[in-house]
Amino acid sequence: MALAWGVQDCALNAFQFAICGFQFEQMTTAFAVYYLFKSVTGFACIFMESLLLTKEAYLIYFCCVAAFGITAWTIFLSCFKLKANYLDKVDDNMTKA
């Protein structure tokens, strides 16, 4: 279980760093907002977890976090347009010629 969480955490951090590093013009601002949001969210989640006293409360919390994660990924995939990289542009130009 710990290995699965570690792999997932590593993959998610690599993806987030790639988004911050390559998708925004101002990398400093993107990383500053990322770390601020990550720290505040981490504090809020740990605080809420400390209030859980029963298995039912933990199950409700887990379901809410899962629903939030699915919603966040859905919004990201449907609304955020990724920049095309140089090789994508070259491939498009080659196929049109």
pLDDT in tens, 5-39: 788 888 888 888 887 777 777 878 888 888 898 89
3-class DSSP state for residue 80?
Answer: coil
As given in the structure block, the two tokens for residue 24 are: 């925004």
Check: CB of residue 58 under 8 Å from CB of residue 65. no
Angle, vertex CA 19, rays to CA 18 and CA 24, nearest 5: 120
- Sequence ranges of the domains in the chain: 2-82
pLDDT value at position 43? 94
Q: Over the Cα atoms of the chain, what is R_g?
A: 18
Average pLDDT, integer, range 42-54: 90
Between 63 and 83, name the one with better pLDDT: 63
As given in the structure block, the two tokens for residue 14 are: 């690599």
